[in-house]
C-alpha cells in the first residue's frame, strides 16, 4: 500500500524539482558559450532572466504565422522566384535569412523558432530584446551577440503590406515607421530614438501623458553592443550616461498601452533579465592563434591600448573610461542626438530612482568598451562602420562602402567577410537590397576617428591583431 506524502514533504520535493530544472536549463544555456557550469555556480536569477525574455510578452504581437509565411510574395527578384519554387521548410529558412532572423539554438527556452520573438499564446509573434541582441558569427547563433544581419526596416515594411492585403490590424511598429525609421543599414538600429519618443510620453513617475511634446529627433543607426561586456561596465550605453540597473532596460517597453502599474509590475522580471545579461560569457576564438605573436601583441597592447580598454588575462583589469570626443573623434551624431533634456528626464524620474542612481546629463565623449570576445562582435565602433579589426588598426584603409556575406568570417583580418566598394552600385535600386550595403558617407555612419593605431608599426599592428583574437 502506497502512503500519501505529507504536504511539507511534497513542498520540499517540488522546490527541489524546480531548482533542478533551473540548474539543468542553466547548464544548457551556458554550454552555448563554450563554458562548463555546475548547479552551485549558476544563478537561478540568470536562468529565469533568459526564460522571461523568451516566454513573456512585454509588447503587442508584430505578426502571426499567416503574415510571416506570406512575406516572400513582397520580395524583389530573384529572391521572390527562388522562394516561390521552394518547399515550405526551405522557404522559412529563406525568410529568416532575408530578414536576418536568428533560429533558436538548442537548449534555449521558448516556443518559437526565431530567437528574437516570443509567442503571445494566441498565434502572435512578439519582439523581445534578442531580436537585436541575439546574432550569429561564422554561422553560429549566440544569445547576447549583436544581430548584425537584422533587416528590421525591411521586415516591418513588408509585414505592414501583407497585413493590409490580409485586412489585419496594424501594430505599433507598422505605424511607427511612418515617421521613425528603424534602420538605414541592415544590422544596425535606430532604437535609441524610439526610446526617446516613448519616454516623451511619460511623466517622471512613468504615468502616461500623450499630450507631452516630442523633442526634435536626430535619427541614427547604432551597432548593438555585446551583452558579455555589461558585467564589466559601471554604466550603460556608448556615452555611459545611464545607470546600470534593470530600470533603464525597460525603456523600450514604454508604449502607452503599458501603464505605470504594468511597468512597475515588471521590475522583478527585468532584474532577472539583467542578471542573465551579466552572466553572458564571451565566446572563445575557435581557430588557431599564434601564441608567440599574440604575446608580442599583448606587450604592444598594454603599452598603447590598455589605458582606455584595460588589460586581460588572469591579472587583467578594466576600469570604465569615457574618452572625450576631441580625442577619439569617431562619429559624434550619437553623442549629440540625445539632448540634455532627455537625459535630465531620466535623472529626474523613476528610471534612476529619482536621481539616486547616477545619470550623466552632459557626457563629453564615448566609453572605451572592454574588448572581451572582440573577434566575434564585428563590425566595430558604436555605429558599426568598420567591418574588421584590421580596418580598425588601419584607419586610412577603411572602406567607403561594404557588404558582408551571410556566414563568412575573415580570419586574416578578423571580422566580417566583406566586399569593399567606393559606392553602392547604381543597379542596386530596391530599398531592401540597398540596406545590405553599409555606406559610411551617410549621416551618423562615418568610419573616421580612433586613429590611435597610426602610432604603431606594421609589425606591431600585426601582433596586436593576433593578440585580440585571444581575448
Q: How far apart are CA 471 and CA 468, in angstroms?
A: 6
Q: How many CA atoms lie within 13 A of 252 on its CB side?
A: 17
Give the strand pairing for 134-137 and 124-127: unpaired
How would you class 341 by CB atoms within 10 Å of its CB: exposed for 0-12, middle for 13-18, buried for 19 or more? exposed
pLDDT in tens, 356-392: 999 999 999 999 999 999 999 999 999 999 999 999 9
Residue 180's alpha-carbon distances to 62, 154, 189, 210, 219, in angstroms, are 16, 13, 11, 17, 8
DSSP code of residue 103: B
In the three-class reduction of DSSP (H, G, I as helix; E, B as strand; rest coil), residue 335 is classed as helix
E-strand ranges in 388-453 read: 401-410, 415-421, 437-439
Give every residue of the chain whose pLDDT is below 50, as ranges: 1-31, 33-40
284 Cβ neighbours under 8 A, 6+ residues apart = 34
Which residues are bridge partners to 368 per DSSP?
Answer: 321
pLDDT in tens, 237-260: 999 999 999 999 999 999 999 999
Burial annotation 142-163 (CB, 10 A radius, 16+ → b, else e) = bbbbbbbbbbbbbbbbbbbbbb
| Under 8 Å between Cβ of 438 and 290 | no
Which residues are bridge partners to 181 per DSSP?
Answer: none
Instruction: State the pLDDT at residue 42.
Output: 63
pTM summary value: 0.90
E-strand ranges in 292-350 read: 321-324
Q: DSSP for 48-70?
A: HHHHHHHH---S---EEHHHHTT
Instruction: State the pLDDT at residue 215.
Output: 87
Instruction: State the pLDDT at residue 462.
Output: 98
Instruction: State the pLDDT at residue 234.
Output: 96
E-strand ranges in 255-387 read: 321-324, 365-368
Instruction: State the pLDDT at residue 99.
Output: 98
User: Taken in order 101, 263, 272, 374, is the CA torsion positive or negative?
Assistant: positive
Amino acid at each position: 500500500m502506497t502512503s500519501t506524502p505529507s504536504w511539507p514533504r511534497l513542498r520540499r520535493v517540488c522546490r527541489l524539482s524546480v531548482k533542478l530544472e533551473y540548474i539543468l536549463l542553466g547548464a544548457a544555456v551556458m554550454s552555448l558559450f563554450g563554458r562548463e557550469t555546475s548547479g552551485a555556480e549558476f544563478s537561478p536569477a540568470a536562468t529565469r532572466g533568459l526564460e522571461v525574455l523568451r516566454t513573456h510578452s512585454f509588447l503587442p504581437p508584430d505578426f502571426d504565422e499567416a503574415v510571416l509565411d506570406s512575406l516572400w510574395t513582397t520580395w524583389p527578384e530573384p529572391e521572390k522566384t527562388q522562394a516561390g519554387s521552394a518547399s515550405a521548410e526551405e522557404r522559412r529558412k529563406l525568410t529568416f535569412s532575408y530578414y536576418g532572423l536568428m533560429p533558436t539554438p538548442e537548449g534555449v527556452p521558448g516556443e518559437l523558432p526565431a530567437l528574437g520573438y516570443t509567442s503571445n499564446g494566441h498565434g502572435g509573434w512578439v519582439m523581445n530584446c534578442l531580436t537585436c541582441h541575439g546574432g550569429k558569427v561564422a554561422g553560429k547563433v549566440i544569445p547576447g551577440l549583436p544581430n548584425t544581419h537584422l533587416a528590421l526596416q525591411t521586415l516591418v515594411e513588408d509585414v505592414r503590406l501583407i497585413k493590409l492585403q490580409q485586412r489585419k490590424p496594424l501594430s505599433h511598429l507598422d505605424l511607427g515607421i511612418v515617421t521613425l525609421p528603424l534602420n538605414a543599414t541592415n544590422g544596425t538600429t535606430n532604437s535609441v530614438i524610439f526610446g526617446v519618443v516613448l519616454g516623451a510620453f511619460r511623466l517622471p513617475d512613468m504615468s502616461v501623458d500623450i499630450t507631452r511634446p516630442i523633442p526634435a529627433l536626430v535619427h541614427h543607426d547604432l551597432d548593438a553592443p555585446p551583452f558579455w561586456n555589461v558585467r564589466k561596465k559601471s554604466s550603460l550605453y556608448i556615452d555611459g550616461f545611464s545607470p546600470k540597473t534593470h530600470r533603464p532596460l525597460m525603456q523600450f517597453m514604454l508604449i502607452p498601452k503599458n501603464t505605470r502599474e504594468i511597468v512597475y509590475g515588471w521590475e522583478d522580471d527585468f532584474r532577472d533579465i539583467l542578471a542573465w545579461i551579466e552572466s553572458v560569457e564571451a565566446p572563445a576564438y575557435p581557430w588557431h592563434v599564434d601564441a608567440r605573436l599574440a604575446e608580442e601583441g599583448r606587450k604592444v597592447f598594454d603599452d598603447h591600448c590598455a589605458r582606455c580598454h584595460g588589460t586581460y588575462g588572469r591579472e587583467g583589469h578594466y576600469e570604465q573610461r569615457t574618452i572625450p570626443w576631441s580625442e577619439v573623434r569617431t562619429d559624434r551624431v550619437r553623442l549629440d542626438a540625445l539632448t540634455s533634456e532627455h537625459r535630465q528626464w531620466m535623472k529626474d524620474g523613476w528610471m534612476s530612482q529619482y536621481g539616486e542612481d547616477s545619470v550623466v546629463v552632459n557626457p563629453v565623449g564615448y566609453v572605451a568598451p572592454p574588448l572581451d570576445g572582440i573577434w566575434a562582435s564585428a563590425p566595430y565602433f558604436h555605429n558599426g562602420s568598420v567591418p574588421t579589426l584590421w580596418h580598425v588598426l588601419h584607419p586610412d584603409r577603411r572602406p567607403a562602402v561594404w557588404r558582408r556575406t551571410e556566414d563568412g568570417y575573415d580570419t586574416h583580418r578578423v571580422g566580417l567577410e566583406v566586399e569593399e566598394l567606393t559606392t553602392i552600385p547604381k543597379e542596386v535600386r530596391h530599398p531592401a537590397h540597398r540596406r545590405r550595403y553599409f555606406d559610411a558617407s551617410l549621416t551618423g555612419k562615418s568610419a573616421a576617428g580612433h586613429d590611435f593605431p597610426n602610432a604603431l608599426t606594421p609589425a606591431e599592428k600585426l601582433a596586436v591583431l593576433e593578440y585580440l583574437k585571444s581575448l
